[in-house]
């Protein structure tokens, strides 16, 4: 009996060693933005919690600036699916060229507030989107947030679509953004963020659209971006995800550890992304105004003019995304 127990104990130790040997020294996590941006903070928190909860067995290293795909944000999902990247905290916008349904979050004025975004991501629609992502070869674990995207420029105050006539605005590399800004009369130009910063500095482009956490961290008022319109036309939820083969290499316990660490890091990231931008805390907006920036908040009637201008884009993309999915999202928003 004693001999059998010894054999069992040795077998257990051998199994444990095999699991340890199967783990990589480092799992590469791709993001677009580093800390101190909320995006980078969420990714770093995932790495921190994973290391802590695995007693250092699982080492995630964050590679910001999409450096693992030479800075091309729209290639990140493909690289993750192919295993060039192990894991990512990725943008629904940047992944939408490969997963059309992710354009849901870029439908103009679908989500009027944070409660609407939560109603989609944290409910049945969010589960359906995760199923779709998984069918595309990537395992999604949790949501984080880059935030609502506001438009800024160096030329003029924007209160109506006519104010955007001829403005050269940097937009992200997803076709729906070209469609939206063209419909509003602007001259959209797609470029990576790495290219956008010098373009804003030199005045090669007049403006851009991004969450205010990015505006403030980069001090965009120093790039001439002294007009901001708060319109919350789209938001950019983020997804913690793992390459499917990498995911399958983990034990069930480690999979659960990674998933829960992502959920907790995502909640942290969302809190950071919304700080100073909620109805009961406008401190970030106040800080921006204190730097001499003209911050415009659209009235309901003013916002409706932009909705009307982009209504045909909304309907066109609803068909591409899938009417059933969009209908479910609209219902979730209405019932929030």
> What pLDDT, in 10s, does the model give residues 100-155?
999 999 999 999 999 999 999 999 999 999 999 999 999 999 999 999 999 999 99
For residue 132, give the CATH number of its domain.
Answer: 3.40.190.170
What is the C-alpha to C-alpha distance for residues 305 and 231, in angstroms, rounded to an integer?
A: 11
On the CB side of 47, how many CA atoms lie within 13 Å of its CA? 23
What is the C-alpha to C-alpha distance for residues 306 and 310, in angstroms, rounded to an integer?
A: 6
Output DSSP code: residue 103. G
pLDDT at 196: 87
pLDDT at 14: 41
pLDDT at 99: 97
Averaged pLDDT for residues 181-191:
95
1 pLDDT higher than 80: no
Query: Is 1 contained in some domain?
Result: no
What is the C-alpha to C-alpha distance for residues 143 and 287, in angstroms, rounded to an integer?
A: 28
> What pLDDT, in 10s, does the model give residues 187-218?
999 988 778 889 999 999 999 999 999 999 99
Query: Is 92 contained in some domain?
Result: yes
Q: Is 299 exposed, middle or buried (0-12, 13-18, 19+ CB in 10 A)?
A: exposed
> What pLDDT, in 10s, does the model give residues 68-92?
998 888 899 999 999 999 999 999 9
Q: 191-200, 215-224, 318-327: which has the minimum mean pLDDT?
A: 191-200
* 148 Ramachandran zone, left/alpha/beta (phi>0; psi -120 to 50): beta
What is the C-alpha to C-alpha distance for residues 86 and 191, in angstroms, rounded to an integer?
A: 25
> What pLDDT, in 10s, does the model give residues 247-292?
999 999 999 999 999 999 999 999 999 999 999 999 999 999 999 9
What is the C-alpha to C-alpha distance for residues 147 and 92, in angstroms, rounded to an integer?
A: 11
What is the C-alpha to C-alpha distance for residues 273 and 271, in angstroms, rounded to an integer?
A: 6
With bands split at pLDDT 50, 70 and 90, how would you rate the model's confidence at 173? confident
Three-state DSSP class for residue 336:
coil
9 pLDDT higher than 60: no
Residue in the block written with tokens 């591409």: 320
pLDDT at 45: 98
> What pLDDT, in 10s, does the model give residues 21-37?
489 999 999 999 999 99
Query: Is 15 contained in some domain?
Result: no
Query: Is 103 contained in some domain?
Result: yes
Q: 2-16, 67-81, 100-114, 224-238: which has the minimum mean pLDDT?
A: 2-16
Query: Is 9 contained in some domain?
Result: no
When divided into structural domains, the chain yields a total of 1
pLDDT at 249: 97
- Asked if residues 217 and 109 have their Cβ atoms less than 8 Å apart, the reply is no
pLDDT at 193: 77
Query: Is 7 contained in some domain?
Result: no
pLDDT at 2: 47
Query: Is 2 contained in some domain?
Result: no
Per the structure, the complete domain to which residue 78 belongs is given by 23-334
Three-state DSSP class for residue 234:
strand
pLDDT at 4: 45
- Asked if residues 35 and 268 have their Cβ atoms less than 8 Å apart, the reply is no
Query: Is 310 contained in some domain?
Result: yes
What is the C-alpha to C-alpha distance for residues 93 and 100, in angstroms, rounded to an integer?
A: 10
């Amino acid at each position: 009996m004693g001999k059998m127990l010894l054999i069992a104990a040795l077998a257990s130790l051998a199994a444990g060693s095999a699991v340890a040997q199967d783990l990589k020294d480092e799992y590469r996590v791709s993001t677009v933005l580093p800390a101190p941006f909320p995006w980078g903070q969420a990714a770093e928190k995932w790495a921190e919690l994973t290391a802590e909860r695995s007693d250092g067995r699982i080492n995630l290293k964050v590679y910001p600036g999409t450096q693992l795909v030479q800075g091309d944000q729209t290639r990140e999902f493909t690289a993750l699916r192919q295993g060039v990247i192990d894991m990512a905290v990725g943008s629904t916008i940047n992944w939408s060229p490969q997963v059309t349904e992710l354009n849901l979050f870029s439908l103009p004025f679908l989500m009027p507030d944070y409660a609407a975004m939560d109603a989609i991501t944290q409910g049945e629609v969010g589960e359906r989107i995760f199923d779709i992502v998984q069918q595309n070869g990537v395992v999604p674990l949790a949501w984080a947030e880059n935030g609502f995207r506001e438009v800024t420029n160096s030329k003029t105050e924007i209160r109506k679509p006519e104010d955007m006539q001829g403005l050269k605005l940097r937009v992200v590399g997803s076709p729906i953004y070209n469609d939206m800004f063209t419909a509003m009369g602007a001259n959209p130009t797609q470029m990576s963020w790495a290219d956008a910063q010098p373009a804003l500095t030199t005045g090669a482009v007049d403006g851009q659209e991004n969450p205010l956490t990015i505006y403030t961290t980069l001090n965009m008022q120093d790039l001439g971006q002294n007009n901001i319109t708060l319109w919350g036309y789209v938001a950019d939820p983020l997804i913690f995800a793992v390459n499917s083969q990498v995911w399958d290499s983990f034990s069930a316990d480690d999979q659960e550890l990674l998933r829960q660490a992502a959920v907790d890091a995502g909640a942290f990231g969302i809190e950071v992304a919304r700080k100073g931008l909620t109805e009961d805390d406008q401190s970030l907006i106040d800080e921006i105004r204190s730097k001499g920036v003209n911050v415009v908040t659209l009235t309901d009637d003013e916002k409706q003019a932009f909705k009307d201008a982009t209504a045909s884009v909304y309907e066109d993309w609803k068909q591409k995304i899938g009417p059933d999915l969009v209908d479910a999202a609209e219902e979730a928003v209405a019932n929030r």
